[in-house]
């Protein structure tokens, strides 16, 4: 059976799911994405990755706010059989969720009920979780509380950063989405209610969280580096500039927290030390620490902040 599907998504993470649907026997009747924004320099208007991808595929795109009453009329005129939501960035109003016989299916990047909310990937890494995954869930009027039809798992190792994990989960999410739709159509799948008592919340990442605190243990700092790489980046100040660390390892050395212990960018923390392997100056590319040190003198015993 071929379904008429409305797709709602915005970032790169959404694209593998959209592409899988395009290549299936289902029909994408419209894509909703966030409105275009001016670039950081304020000159060019920048469309979302999903917007650009959809236009290349010749798919109709809408960027209106769902809370607009006129948009609801246009949405109903599409007469979709299913709505797929992947990192859309807008709350779906109740007026949409209450449309009879219409399921809003969400691809969520955690093993619900763990890490409901805006930043499940980053929170999983920050927490030191050994695994995470994808949940295909039915959207309800409360945040990420709906029942799920499928979950698939993936390991998180000590070197996994959020960029790498996001890429893996976007592909896994697309595969699991198609399997879930097949289960719904075959009537072989069951939606499983979440246990609210086991819920945890992945709140949005705040800017103040991304600064490195050398008073923390090396293990915790490594988790922060991994969680925030490549964006927004865990950082410290050096020579009045923000320096983002993108890769580091724990070293069994000690000293006053924040102190540079050698000529290879090994920095003391509350417990052990970290050796910085890859970093990035403001407005520059990510480079190896050895290359950074060729043009920037960081003296032993300097205290970083």
Residue 264, phi-psi category: left (phi > 0), alpha (psi -120 to 50), beta (remainder): alpha
Rounded CA-CA distance 279/98 in Å is 49
| CATH code for the domain defined by 4-202 | 3.40.50.170
pLDDT at site 42: 60
Rounded CA-CA distance 196/200 in Å is 9
CB 134 within 8 A of CB 176: yes
pLDDT at site 44: 80
Structure tokens at 171: 């592909």
Region(s) of the chain under CATH 3.10.25.10: 207-295
Nearest to 288 by CA among 236, 235, 248, 228: 248
Rounded CA-CA distance 173/305 in Å is 39
Residue 258, CA distances (Å) to 31, 221, 279 in order: 48, 12, 16
pLDDT at site 40: 63
Q: What is the CA radius of gyration of the chain?
A: 22
pLDDT at site 54: 98
Alpha helices in the chain (DSSP H): 15-22, 49-56, 69-77, 94-97, 120-126, 162-186, 218-227, 289-295
The residue length of the chain stands at 305
Residue 117, phi-psi category: left (phi > 0), alpha (psi -120 to 50), beta (remainder): left
Tens-binned pLDDT, residue by residue, of the chain (305 aa): 899 999 999 999 999 999 999 999 999 999 999 998 877 666 688 999 999 999 999 999 999 999 998 999 999 999 999 999 999 999 999 999 999 999 999 999 999 999 999 999 999 999 999 999 999 999 999 999 999 999 999 999 999 999 999 999 999 999 999 999 999 999 999 999 999 999 999 999 999 999 999 999 999 999 999 999 999 999 999 988 999 999 999 999 999 999 999 999 999 999 999 999 999 998 899 999 999 999 899 999 999 98
Task: Give the DSSP per-residue string, 261-274.
Answer: -STT-EEE-SSSEE
CATH for the 207-295 domain, from 3.30.530.20, 3.10.25.10, 3.40.50.170, 3.20.20.120: 3.10.25.10
Nearest to 82 by CA among 172, 161, 183, 170: 183
Structure tokens at 191: 């939606």
Region(s) of the chain under CATH 3.40.50.170: 4-202
Pairing state between β 148-155 and 201-202: unpaired
- Sign of the Cα pseudo-torsion (84, 110, 142, 12, in order): negative
């Amino acid at each position: 059976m071929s379904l008429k599907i409305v797709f709602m998504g915005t970032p790169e993470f959404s694209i593998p799911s959209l592409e899988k649907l395009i290549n299936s026997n289902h029909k994408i009747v419209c894509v909703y994405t966030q409105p275009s924004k001016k670039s950081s320099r304020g000159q060019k208007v920048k469309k979302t990755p999903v917007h650009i991808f959809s236009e290349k595929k010749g798919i109709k795109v809408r960027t209106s706010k769902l809370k607009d009453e006129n948009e609801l009329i246009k949405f109903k005129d599409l007469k979709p059989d299913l709505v797929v939501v992947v990192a859309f960035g807008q709350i779906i109003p109740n007026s949409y969720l209450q449309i009879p016989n219409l399921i809003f299916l969400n691809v969520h990047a955690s093993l619900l009920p763990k890490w409901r909310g805006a930043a499940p990937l980053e929170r999983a890494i920050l927490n030191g979780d050994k695994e995470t995954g994808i949940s295909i869930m039915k959207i309800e009027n409360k945040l990420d509380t709906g029942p799920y039809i499928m979950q698939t798992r993936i390991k998180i190792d000590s070197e996994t950063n959020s960029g790498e994990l996001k890429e893996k989960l976007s592909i896994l999410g697309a595969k699991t989405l198609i399997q879930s739709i097949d289960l719904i159509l075959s009537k072989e799948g069951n939606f499983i209610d979440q246990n609210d008592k086991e819920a945890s919340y992945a709140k949005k990442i705040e800017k103040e969280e991304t600064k490195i605190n050398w008073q923390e243990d090396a293990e915790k700092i490594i988790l922060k580096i991994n969680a925030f790489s490549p964006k927004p980046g865990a950082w410290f100040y050096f020579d009045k500039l923000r320096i983002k660390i993108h890769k580091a390892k724990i070293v069994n050395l000690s000293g006053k927290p924040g102190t540079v212990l050698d000529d290879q960018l090994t920095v003391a923390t509350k417990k052990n030390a970290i050796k910085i392997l890859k970093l990035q100056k403001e407005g520059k590319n990510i480079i190896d620490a050895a290359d950074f040190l060729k043009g920037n003198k960081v003296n032993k015993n300097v205290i970083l902040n």
